[in-house]
């Protein structure tokens, strides 16, 4: 090695390329039986929505047939959807939520 040579250190650090975890949508569906106020109550209790946000989401599902409630990690989406469905079931309402991966 002459005086002008630079000793280059080989790059030893490997950065693993981890896939981003997929996000999931929780979708609320309209039905003809669940009272509007109950839908808003579930959105507030389970999804921590304000009265205003809950009203908007409920009315969107009521008018269009469905509405995205939240986008989050898969396990959280599934837990919240189940919690919301069970609350409605307990009151005898057919309110439905599903989860699906975001594109």
Binding site for ligand TYC (CB under 6 A): 28-32, 34-36, 39, 58, 61-62, 95
Closest to 52 measured CA to CA, from 63, 61, 43: 43
Q: Which tokens hold the place of 25?
A: 């949508």
Q: Which is nearer to ligand TYC, 34 or 72 (CB)?
A: 34
* Minimum distance of ligand TYC from residue 32's CB (angstroms): 6
Pairwise CA distance, residues 94 & 53, whole Å? 22
Pairwise CA distance, residues 30 & 19, whole Å? 35
* Minimum distance of ligand TYC from residue 63's CB (angstroms): 9
Q: Which is nearer to ligand TYC, 44 or 62 (CB)?
A: 62
């Amino acid at each position: 090695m002459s005086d002008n040579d630079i000793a280059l250190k080989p790059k030893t650090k490997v950065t693993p390329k981890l896939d981003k975890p997929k996000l999931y949508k929780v979708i609320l569906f309209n039905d003809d039986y669940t009272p509007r106020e109950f839908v808003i109550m579930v959105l507030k209790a389970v999804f921590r929505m304000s009265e205003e946000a809950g009203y908007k989401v409920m009315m969107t599902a009521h008018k269009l047939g469905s509405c995205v409630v939240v986008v989050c990690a898969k396990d959280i989406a599934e837990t919240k959807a189940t919690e919301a469905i069970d609350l409605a079931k307990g009151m005898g309402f057919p309110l439905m939520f599903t989860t699906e991966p975001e594109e």
